[in-house]
Amino acid sequence: MLKEGDRAPDFSLPNQRGETVSLATELTKGELALYFYPADFTPVCTAEACAFRDTYAELRQANANVIGISPQSVESHRRFAEAFNIPFALLFDAGKSVIKAYGVDGPFGWGVRRATFHIGQDGIIHKRVVSDLFVGGHLELVKDLTGVLK
């Protein structure tokens, strides 16, 4: 799994609207909280996405953004984003290539680890949180990007 100080691997994946999103382009807009999650519509993943949604305005004011990645389809992400008013990109990693590049593939290739990476505009990982069942640390990382915890 990637750690603080590592260069974040670039990627291009489709979001819930079918548009291609790349890390390189996103980093021109500001810092990024990139989070990986197991599945749309599951209780912990829904709580996490909604917590990030609730801090999204502050993130944007702080010149930062959040993006989620999981192996669910564009259609699943679209329904999930619409059901919970998710304003940020949810990316479809069909073959789990990005999930594997970041080292968050589940044990024996099953599932996805819940991990959040703070990536600076320089493409370097500044912080990382890994917690499969609890979202508190992930939310703290995102709030840190907004300046709430600084």
Contacts of 107 (CB under 8 A, 6+ apart): none
Q: What is the largest CA-CA distance in the chain?
A: 40
Structure tokens at 59: 């993130």
Position with higher pLDDT, 22 vs 136: 22
pLDDT the model gives residue 133: 59
Give the residue numbers marked as catalytic.
Answer: 45
- Taking the C-alpha atoms of residue 79 and residue 150, their distance in angstroms, rounded to an integer, is 35
Spatial distance between the Cα atoms of 58 and 128, rounded to a whole number of angstroms: 20
pTM: 0.89
More confident residue, 147 or 6: 6
pLDDT tens string 37-95:
999 998 889 998 999 899 999 888 888 899 999 999 999 999 999 999 999 999 999 99
Class of domain 12-146: alpha beta
pLDDT of 106 higher than 60 = yes
pLDDT at 147: 65
**Where is pLDDT greater, at 11 or 146?**
11
Beta bridge partners of 31: 64
Q: Give 107-144 pLDDT, tens digit per residue.
A: 777 889 889 999 999 999 998 887 765 566 656 767 67
Q: How far is CA 9 from the centre of its chain?
A: 14
